[in-house]
Amino acid sequence: MPSSRRAQDKVSPDLRAQLRDATTGNNQASVILQLKSSPTGQLNALLRRNGVRVRRNFNSLNARAVDLPLSVVQELESYPEVQFISPDRKIATLGHVTKTTGTDAVRTETTTTTTTSYDSLGLPVTTTNITTKTFDGTGIGIAILDSGLDAAHQVFKGRITLSKDFTGEGRTDDPYGHGTHVAAAAAGASSDYSGIASGAKIINLRVLNKEGMGTVSGVLGALDWLLVNHVAYKIRVVNMSLGAPAIDSYRNDPLCQAVRRLVDAGVTVFAAAGNNGKDASGQKVYGQIHAPGNEPSAITVGATNTYGTDARNDDGITTYSSRGPTRSYWTDEAGVKHYDNLAKPDLVAPGNKLIYALSDVDWTTLNLLVTQNPSLDAGVSSRENRKMMYLSGTSMATPIAAGAAAMLLQVNPRLTPNLIKMILTYTAQPLAGHNTLEQGAGQINLEGAMRLAKLVRTDLTNTTPLGAPLLTTAMPAPETEIAGHNFPWAQGVTFNYNLGMGTDLITKYQKVYGTGILMSDGILMSDGILMSDGILMSDGILMSDGILMSDSTPWGGEPLFLGSGILMSDGILMSDGILMSDGILMSDGILMSDGILMSDSYVQAQSAMVSGDDTSCMR
């Protein structure tokens, strides 16, 4: 529970609003019940009461999906073993890149060795051996929580090791069309439109139905299954190109809590930031990060536009990519809101008009997205299992980062989720003209990330002393060249309200790289000043003053965009919701209808996924 002089309200704000608006005692609700401990006899009796139905038990998460009358909620919250009650909200989708991300530069590694032997006359004979190793995520399992997969598509080549349905529709194919495209971006194998980790195993966990919609309880079912089975299926990476409005603080949100449990177990979770970066008039909007992207242990990914080029000097943040800070909150018993205001996303990746696999329902029927928008068909092939389609959004950027993590784990299987976050953000490229609430540390750079991951010691554990050497050799040069364009690394790591910088991040082991710890746990605040605590982080880590505006050079010397002290405060950021005169911050309240953002927000998310920012595409 968040620290406060007042106790926390156990009921989510939008569910509390339903209670206030209820006209009779017969109004029904579907809720997610999170428990502190096993239910007592009295609570068990309530859950067996007439009109109350437990639809699902999430045993690994100590949570339940329950249908009940609204009149029962207030009684339910009175039990001491109840942690939090929130609606079973609706989940929606949020929306070839191997050269520009640096993947091609590290796909193969050639080693030449020379040996000398002697013939029968005693003369030396020199033999040269050339060994080539391929890095494509082989041996790593990536779980795709999405709308299902077209298992017959040639890009997957029999690498789908398991398919399970959590929607209740009893199918694991992809009639909607989103999941196949996402999985192909992460791990598709194609000569022309290859995904990042083209050798990884794929685990298909279908949580979105034929219309691309799901529920919190459905996603919790998949996360609960992952907690039990991730070791058996060698699942090291989870991709969640989906989201719900981030209303409850990450401390209470059931999706965030489940993601944190999974990360603590050593699984790296990637979440889409969302596609609500602008309003109906095209103005920048801040504070629209979706759940579970508001969870600090998740790696939250925004989208960039590469404008169809391999070089990265013209890349920028797409207008639709959701910006931070996170505006989820908890409410105390006096009704006061306490906002999380975390700096998100953590990094960005190409996500505009990407070409990846198109799913067929059968020989005559295409997926719903292409049926409704025929222009999404890229026209690559007329064969059912070889078709490709365009999609745009942070949904497309997130699997790029997830595939990159699988590559890092292939080269160094001992990496923890926190080390993966450090490596990806430290080696990222800051994009000029964008602040950290728009891009996190910057755009993903797999060439640099792989080069750094190879040097990280493989004998690290949670007992490794703070400040012990992190690398096996000297620090690598913090720069990368792709398509003739040389750029410096960000050389920073995103924390809750700012960036941590310094060479100690990669030369010394930090305790925050272990499992069961948030990256921000080693940061203490004293009179508004951020500092490391000398136990979880060494003194060589410097903290920025807050959110910075990038000039495309390494983070640290850029002008301050927003101070940490403002992010740490409760309530509105700046007056009247205006953020540094740069854009409009979303209002304190979020209008909800069955868990879907009203006004233009949901439509905007869908249109971004379909149309993108421009007419260019990446090959």
Asked if 490 and 444 count as a contact pair (C-beta separation under 8 A), the reply is no
- The Cα–Cα gap between 501 and 306 comes to 27
Tokens of 162: 């398991």
Q: Among residues 395, 520, 544, 550, which one is catalytic?
A: 395
In terms of DSSP bridges, do strands 592-593 and 596-597 run parallel, antiparallel, or are they unpaired? antiparallel
Give the H or E element holding residue 532: strand 529-532
Q: Does 253 participate in catalysis according to the annotation?
A: no
Query: Where does residue 473 rank: exposed (0-12), middle (13-18), buried (19+ CB within 10 A)?
Result: exposed
Tokens of 383: 């064969």
Q: Do you find a cis peptide bond into 374, omega within 30 degrees of 0?
A: no
Closest CA to 239 of 137, 340, 319, 155: 137
Evaluate the CA torsion angle 86, 88, 92, 93 in order and state its sign.
positive
Closest CA to 341 of 574, 4, 3: 574
Closest CA to 179 of 218, 140, 212, 222: 212
Tokens of 590: 């979020």
Q: Does 146 participate in catalysis according to the annotation?
A: yes
Please give the single-letter amino acid code of residue 287. G
CA 171, 175, 176: angle at the middle one, nearest 5?
120
DSSP state of 512: G
Evaluate the CA torsion angle 172, 176, 177, 183 in order and state its sign.
negative
Contacts of 442 (CB under 8 A, 6+ apart): 347, 348, 425, 428, 429, 430, 431, 490, 550
- How many other CB atoms are there within 10 angstroms of residue 82's CB atom? 18
Q: Does 190 participate in catalysis according to the annotation?
A: no
What Å distances lie between residue 505 and 467, 491, 493, 538, 545, CA to CA? Answer: 10, 8, 8, 9, 18
Q: Among residues 9, 96, 165, 178, which one is catalytic?
A: 178
Asked if 278 and 289 count as a contact pair (C-beta separation under 8 A), the reply is no
Query: Where does residue 435 rank: exposed (0-12), middle (13-18), buried (19+ CB within 10 A)?
Result: buried
Q: Among residues 146, 253, 315, 340, which one is catalytic?
A: 146
Helices and strands (H and E) in the chain: how many:
15, 35
Residues annotated as catalytic (active site), given as ranges: 146, 178, 395
